[in-house]
Amino acid sequence: MSDINAGTPGTSTLTEGTSFADTVRESVARTVVGQEIVVERILIALLTGGHLLLEGVPGIAKTLLVQSVGQAIDLQFKRVQFTIDLLPSDILGSEILDKDTGQFRVHQGPVFTNLLLADEINRASPKVQSALLEAMQERKVSIGDRTHELPAPFLVIATQNPVEQAGTFELPEAQLDRFMLRHRLNYPTPEQETEVVRRGLKLKLKRQGDGAVPMSAFDAIDTSSPFQIKDLTSAMESVLEVHVSDVFMRDCVELVTLTRNHPDIELGCSPRAAISLVQASRARAFVHGRDYAIPEDFLALAEDVILHRMRLTYEALAGGRRGEDVLAELLTALA
């Protein structure tokens, strides 16, 4: 990390932050080509305990990326492919009758993990979405007449495919608000894509008895974990030490307030947006080796924190306005 991002050197936080982030990046980079920004966003979500919604077309390594980050920090990882016929109990778990004891016992669902990848969350029915989002918010699950705490850390990374909307249930604004960040993934650059293909050519066969199947990128995930959960906890504590100035808070609150008064915005951001913007900025400052947040942090994160929390008016949409354009206006008006 350059000394420009490091700001004023000499504190342990700086070295911790850069070391933690760089090591995770390096570990992920051994499996996934590019997508540094997404890795940064996942780290920010992990460090702040927020949840992350990834939007991107299929085949740009969303699942691979999340699994790689989870592996780098030795997090328990589970993946659920959301479908229309999924039930809340398929996610949360249920009580089943144990034949041997004649007692009901709890069968925990995949939500009981550190890192849950909810693939194509908009394909599940609203009932399932609500069950998961409630668990995300409260970090506990009620099965039968008992409440179960979810493991710590607990992070949901949900994905949405923005192109296939048939047969999907769009997440309403109130539920989107539960996600601290929504990040839109882009296609890799031609250079990165060339490297992806090159790595694909190096994959060998995975033998099983006398048979074999071609290895996939998932088989190539680096299984070593440079960090443990306690390291993540330590990093989370360091993030809490990152200083946020009054000027910085003013900028964040002002930006969120502006979303409520813009003529092209029908629904502005909730106070949760301001909280998320400050918290995420703190984590970004930590990842970039600073122990204080600067405007670059919230400017870089504004799109991911703000856009999914505001809804444009029908007239604005009909006029071809995009959320990104309105946000750019708001940032200009901030000064």
Contacts with other proteins, residue ranges (CB under 8 A): 2, 4-5, 7-8, 243, 245-248, 250-251, 254, 292-296, 299-300, 302-303, 328, 331-332, 334-335
Nearer to other proteins, 147 or 245 (CB): 245
* Closer by beta carbon to other proteins, 120 or else 251: 251
Q: Which of 41/178 has CB closer to other proteins?
A: 41
What the block records as the tokens of 172 is 């309403």
Which two tokens mark 311? 């809804």
Minimum Å gap between C-beta 8 and other proteins is: 6
At CB < 8 A and 24+ separation, what contacts does 37-44 make?
Answer: 37/183, 38/65, 38/183, 38/185, 39/65, 39/69, 40/284, 40/287, 41/181, 41/183, 41/304, 42/66, 42/69, 42/157, 43/69, 43/283, 43/287, 44/180, 44/181, 44/280, 44/283, 44/284, 44/287, 44/301
Q: At what angle do helices 246-259 and 323-333 cross, to 10 degrees?
A: 130
Which residue's CB is nearer to other proteins, number 2 or number 103?
2
Residue closer to other proteins by CB (options 158, 327) is: 327
CB of 288 to other proteins, least distance (A): 10
Q: Where are the beta strands (DSSP E) in 24-176?
A: 52-55, 77-81, 93-97, 104-108, 115-119, 140-143, 146-149, 155-160
The token duo for 179 is 């996600």
Helix (H, G, I), strand (E, B) or coil at 77: strand
Nearest approach, Cβ of 295 to other proteins (angstroms)? 6
Q: How far is the CB of 278 from other proteins (least distance, A)?
A: 13
DSSP state of 206: E
- Shortest distance, position 297 Cβ to other proteins, whole Å: 10
Q: Structure tokens of 227?
A: 């960090």
Report in angstroms how near the CB of residue 18 gets to other proteins at its nearest: 16
CB of 264 to other proteins, least distance (A): 17
Q: Whose Cβ is closer to other proteins: residue 5's or residue 89's?
A: 5
To other proteins, the closest distance from the beta carbon of 218 in angstroms equals 33
State the number of CA atoms in the 13 A half-sphere of 322 facing the CB.
Answer: 4
The set of residues, in sequence order, having a beta carbon less than 8 Å from that of 287 and lying 6+ positions away, is: 17, 18, 20, 21, 40, 43, 44, 47
Residue count of the chain: 335
Nearer to other proteins, 127 or 250 (CB): 250
Which residue number, 90 or 251, has a Cβ lying nearer to other proteins? Answer: 251
Using H for helix, E for strand and C for coil, what is the string for 116-149?
EEEECHHHCCHHHHHHHHHHHHHCEEEECCEEEE
The structure tokens listed for 84 are: 């229309």
